[in-house]
Amino acid sequence: MEKLKIGIIGAGRIGKVHTETIIQNVPEAEVVYIADVNLDEAKNLAERFRIKNYSNNHKDIIDDTEINAVIICSPTNTHAQYIVEAAKAKKHIFCEKPIDLDLEIIENAIKVVEENNVKLMVGFNRRFDSNFKKIKQMVFEGKIGEPHILKITSRDPAPPSPEYSAVSGGMFLDMTIHDFDMARYIVGSEIEEVYAIAGVMIDEKIGEAGDVDTALITLKFVNGAMGVIDNSRKAVYGYDQRVEIFGSKGMLKVDNNAPDNHKYYSEIGVHASLPLNFFMDRYIEAYASEIDEFCQAIINDKPISVGGIDGLLAVAIGKAAKLSVNEKRPVKIAEIWNK
């Protein structure tokens, strides 16, 4: 059987991860083209993995009739455009989140994908973490009964630059967006209302750029469950990623991953390793699993588990959270998107 031919648009950090993942873990697929506006970046990645074709123009991938699928790892403001172009070229699409910061633009991209009968997968990699997948399955099996309370802690080890915050859509759309998706995924119900409070406690320049760096968000689900997310741009002890879900019959909990699980006991206390300090370390296996699902869905014509509508809803919830902070009130998702 001929291999699935893939083009990677964007040769930055995540583009490198996806390229390596396919080469090392998906023997049924082959990366045949790398494109990046920085030609040196495209060339370096191509040469590193002996990929013959590279370019500084994404159109070279879109127009290549040999390519079956594209993986979009470029800046957010290009995602929807590239999705539309790839769909019209009858190529299947994996796109990093968010699809766009504008809901109408996202809706249009999804419409074009559907009209051209291609697959679109959005990169919410945390769904593919083995620990989170396990608790999702146990919730689905009724192990904790009816879900009552969800708690998500998501704190980065270091804040981004203020320049990044100014163009990323803000913390709710570049960071908390993962947590909004995880909340829907784990509880298995849509979020109907959001109330958020937020502030600037880490870097005043982030505030000057119009963003926040610390937030608490409460969620109300359609099925009656409640949730709370706490976010910080800076946890001095590492990448803090924890989930707890409590229900009528019990509780499920996922703690942080650490480089090792040793504990040292002495007369002055108990000591353990700090959590992993970088999202690439924490979720490297999840990245591999999501790309494998994407490739297998194309090869075997199977459904995608996290698609365009998931990407749209996460952005809608993020916009509701921003509005809640600005207007100091609970905001229903239907105020933001109601279709």
Range 257-285 average pLDDT: 79
pLDDT of residue 263: 83
Q: At what angle do helices 76-88 and 103-115 cross, to 10 degrees?
A: 20
Chain segment 152-186, per-residue pLDDT in tens: 999 999 998 888 887 888 999 999 999 999 999 99
Instruction: Compute how many other C-beta atoms are within 10 angstroms of the C-beta atom of residue 206.
Output: 24
pLDDT tier for residue 264 given thresholds of 50, 70 and 90: confident
Which residues, in sequence order, are bridge partners of residue 331? 194
DSSP-derived letter for residue 165 is H
pLDDT tier for residue 266 given thresholds of 50, 70 and 90: confident
Residue entry with tokens 């609970």: 330
Chain segment 60-119, per-residue pLDDT in tens: 999 999 999 999 999 999 999 999 999 999 999 999 999 999 999 999 999 999 999 999
User: Is residue 145 classed as helix, strand or coil in its secondary structure?
Assistant: coil
pTM, rounded to two decimals: 0.93
pLDDT tier for residue 1 given thresholds of 50, 70 and 90: low
118, two tokens:
């291609």
Please say if the pLDDT value at position 279 is more than 70: no
Which residues, in sequence order, are bridge partners of residue 193? 220, 332
d(Cα 193, Cα 118) in Å, to the nearest integer?
32
Distances (CA, A) of 46 to 85, 181, 301, 325: 23, 33, 28, 44
Please say if the pLDDT value at position 19 is more than 70: yes
pLDDT of residue 278: 63
Range 223-251 average pLDDT: 96
Q: Among 144-153, 178-187, 276-285, where is mean pLDDT lowest?
A: 276-285
> Which domains can be identified in the chain, with CATH numbers?
4-118 (3.40.50.720), 127-283+314-336 (3.30.360.10)
Residue entry with tokens 């947590």: 179
Exposure on the CB side of residue 90, measured as CA atoms within 13 A: 3
